[in-house]
Each structure stands twice: as C-alpha cells, then as structure tokens.
C-alpha cells in the first residue's frame, strides 16, 4: 500500500462474485469514501460494477488468472496470504467469511463477520449433497489443514478491537468458536426498488423466485425438485458449480438466468409471487431484498432468516425442508400473501442510514 496512511482500510476475502457479502463491502466503501479495499482476488466482470469506482488493491495471487475465475482453488493459500499482509491504516475494517481478519499492521481492527469459514467449521453442510469426489476432497483438506487453520483463525479473531456479526446466529457461532462477544449489525437491503428495471423476455409475472449462488449448502436442488408440483414457473438467479446438475434435474418450466445485473434483478423481485430461500444462510440478503419489493419468503428456520423473516407476517419458516414441504409452503403463501405495505415496512426497519451510522460509530469512535 502507499506510504500515506489511510484512516480506514477495508479488507475482504475475494471480490469474484455477486453475493450478499460483496453487497456489504460495497456499502462499506460508500460509508468510508476513499478507503482502499484490499482483497486477494478481483474479477471486475464477475462482481458488482460499483467496485469500478473503488480503490481495489490485490497482490500476487490475483496475477494467476484461473484463481480469479475459480476462487475455491485458492482456499489452501488464502489463510497464509492474508496472515502475511500488513495494512498500514489507522483502522482496518475486515469483512470476513474466511481469512480477511488475519491481516496485521493497523492501529485498530474491526471485524465484520458474515460467517466463520464455512468449509472449515461446517464442512458437511458446505458440501451438502454435492458429488462424492467434492465431499471427499473437502473432508480430506479439512483433515490436513484444519487444526493449524483453526488455531490461526481463532487467534486472529481474538485480536480484534471490535467484533460485529451480521445476524444473531453468526453472533452465537462467534461466541462458541472464538469466545468473543460480538454486536449484531444486520445489513440493510442493498437493492433500491426505485432503480432501473429490465424485463426478462418471455417471462410472465407471478413466478416463484430463488436468488442464490449455486452451491450445495444453498439447497437450490430442493427448490428445483419442489418446482415439479407448481402451476407457475421457477426462476433461478445465480451461478455456481451446481448449475449443470440443477439444469438436468429441473422441470421444463424452470428458467436459469445466471448472474444478472441489478436492473434485471429488480424486475425479477418486482414480478415474483414468492421468494424461496432454504439454504443454510448465516444471514442472506435475499429475503430482505424481496420484502422491499413486496414479495414474501419461504425460508429455512435457520441463521439469518430468524432475524429477517417474521413467521406468519412476512413469510413462512420451515423446520423440515423437503421438496414436499417447500411445495406446500409456496402454494399457501402465494394464495394468501402478506400485504406489500407490511413487507416494505419490514424491509425499511433494516435501514441503510442506521446501519451506516452505527458502522461509523464502531469503526471511528
């Protein structure tokens, strides 16, 4: 980094996808204008366009093109890479679902935890019902790398001057794994409903929507199986390694849109009847984004949904997530949805201004 010491530097694991964590990092950059963002890998075409106006700084790993396009290949080297980074800033704001909190050198460190590293602490859930080869590889990697990584991870977490968690569930994991008491600061819905909307051709309003990276722990496979019994299409927004398998299992009425821009995503939310979000999400922005557009959610009774979905008011929470239970919940919610006013008011309670004000107070007291 340059010799001039910035008041705040933001550190994030990698900027190679369009997910909730990347939305939050973009909001960090907006909250602290001019703050550099240090990350291991940066693929401008694969993440949000808003980072084009941010001072994003990378390192040697970013010179390896395959890693930029397939960041999971870099998992074995991310921890040592971050552990050797020295960030000369008054305050580091580490946005971490892995290793960003391991950097050193700042006068003060604030960690914003999206989730402790899933593949390290929730291995079976992370790989889910993926291929046998994928499960075996993940378990083998954790068996070899797990003990030293967990030691380094916990030591880094305990060095923080302040610790923020994105949900009550994440706070509980931080307490259990690190012995640290975190403050819950839920992120706001990042997608402004008043922005541009771009329609999807040959798609009528009233479809069921799911917005997720296509990874096993997101359980999009369960949603696809449930879709066989609906009288309306399923629209899947998101990309990931499970795409081909999901396409092969989906009924003909399913549309896979891949990673879409914000204008298209706004149109999808605005024209959906129900959002289904049944993955093991430690927060998950999609239910709040949907509520901002007046769309209710069927979610797993887990993680962030306990904070963002109000049972019987803004959606339905499922204890037993199967194609049949998802199918029935969608039918019931589509038949008797909450009012759009109720949903929009709920989303507004997770206010952008309040989030930014509290973040400033914690980072630069």
CATH of domain 207-348: 3.40.50.2000
Q: Which residues contact 222 (CB under 8 A, 6 or more apart)?
A: 278, 321, 322, 323, 326
Instruction: Identify any residues that bridge with 166 across adjacent strands, giving them in sequence order.
Output: none
pLDDT at residue 3 in the model: 56
Distance CA 104, CA 352 (A): 29
Q: Are strands 8-12 and 37-39 parallel, antiparallel or unpaired?
A: parallel
Residue 242: CA count within 13 A, CB half-sphere: 25
Distance CA 348, CA 117 (A): 30
**CB atoms closer than 10 angstroms to residue 180:** 17
Q: Are 263 and 197 in contact (CB under 8 A)?
A: yes
Torsion sign (Cα): 264, 265, 271, 273: positive
pLDDT at residue 69 in the model: 86
Which 3 state secondary structure label does DSSP give 207? Answer: strand
pLDDT at residue 200 in the model: 97
Q: Which residues contact 317 (CB under 8 A, 6 or more apart)?
A: 299, 300, 301, 305, 306, 309, 311
pLDDT at residue 207 in the model: 97
Distance CA 317, CA 296 (A): 11
pLDDT at residue 287 in the model: 96
Distance CA 64, CA 50 (A): 23
Residue 94: CA count within 13 A, CB half-sphere: 32
Per-residue pLDDT of the chain (365 residues; tens, 9 = 90+): 445 789 999 999 999 999 899 999 999 999 999 999 999 999 999 999 999 999 999 999 999 998 888 887 787 789 899 999 999 999 999 999 989 999 998 899 999 999 998 777 876 665 555 555 555 555 556 556 678 888 889 999 999 999 999 999 999 999 999 999 999 999 999 899 999 999 999 999 999 999 999 998 899 999 999 999 888 999 999 999 999 999 999 999 999 999 999 999 999 999 999 999 999 998 989 999 999 999 999 999 999 999 999 999 999 999 999 999 999 999 999 999 999 999 999 999 999 999 999 999 999 98
Distance CA 110, CA 159 (A): 9
pLDDT at residue 316 in the model: 98
**CB atoms closer than 10 angstroms to residue 121:** 17
Which 3 state secondary structure label does DSSP give 259? Answer: coil
Asked if CATH classification 3.40.50 holds for the domain at 8-188+351-363, the reply, yes or no, is yes
What Rg do the C-alpha atoms of the chain give, in angstroms? 20
Distance CA 281, CA 297 (A): 14
Give 281-344 as a DSSP string: -SS-SHHHHHHHTT--EEEESSTTHHHH--BTTTEEEESS--HHHHHHHHHHHHHSPPPHHHHH
pLDDT at residue 365 in the model: 83
Give span(s): CATH 3.40.50.2000, the chain: 207-348
Distance CA 226, CA 244 (A): 18
């Amino acid at each position: 980094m340059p010799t001039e010491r910035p008041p705040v530097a933001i550190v994030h694991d990698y900027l190679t996808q369009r997910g909730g964590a990347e939305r939050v990092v973009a909001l960090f950059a907006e909250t602290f204008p001019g703050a550099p963002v240090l990350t291991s890998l940066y693929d401008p075409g694969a993440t949000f366009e808003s980072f084009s106006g941010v001072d994003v700084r990378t390192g040697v790993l970013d010179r390896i093109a395959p890693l930029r396009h397939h960041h999971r290949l870099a998992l074995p080297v991310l921890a040592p890479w971050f552990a050797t980074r020295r960030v000369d800033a008054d305050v580091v704001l580490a946005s971490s679902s892995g290793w960003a909190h391991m950097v050193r050198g700042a006068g003060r460190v604030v960690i914003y935890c999206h989730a402790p590293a899933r593949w390290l602490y929730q291995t079976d859930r992370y790989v889910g019902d993926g291929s046998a080869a994928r499960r075996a590889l993940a378990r083998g990697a954790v068996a070899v790398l797990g003990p030293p990584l967990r030691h380094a991870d916990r030591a880094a977490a305990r060095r923080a001057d302040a610790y923020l968690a994105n949900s009550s569930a994440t706070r509980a994991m931080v307490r259990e794994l690190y012995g640290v008491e975190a403050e819950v600061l839920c992120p706001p819905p990042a997608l402004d409903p008043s922005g541009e909307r771009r329609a999807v051709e040959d798609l009528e309003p009233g479809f069921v929507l799911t917005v997720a990276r296509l990874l096993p722990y997101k359980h999009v496979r369960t949603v696809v199986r449930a879709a066989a019994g609906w009288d309306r299409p399923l629209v899947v927004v998101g990309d990931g390694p499970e795409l081909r398998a999901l396409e092969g299992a989906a009924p003909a009425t399913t549309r896979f849109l891949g990673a879409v821009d914000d204008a298209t995503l706004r149109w999808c939310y605005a024209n959906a009847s129900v959002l289904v979000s049944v993955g093991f999400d430690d927060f998950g922005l999609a239910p709040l984004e949907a509520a901002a557009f007046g769309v209710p959610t069927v979610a797993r009774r887990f993680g962030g949904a306990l904070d963002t979905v109000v049972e019987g008011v803004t959606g339905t929470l499922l204890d037993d997530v199967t194609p049949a239970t998802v199918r029935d919940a969608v039918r019931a919610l589509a038949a008797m949805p909450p009012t759009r006013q109720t949903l929009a008011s709920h989303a507004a309670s997770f206010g952008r201004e309040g989030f930014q004000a509290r973040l400033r107070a914690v980072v630069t007291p």
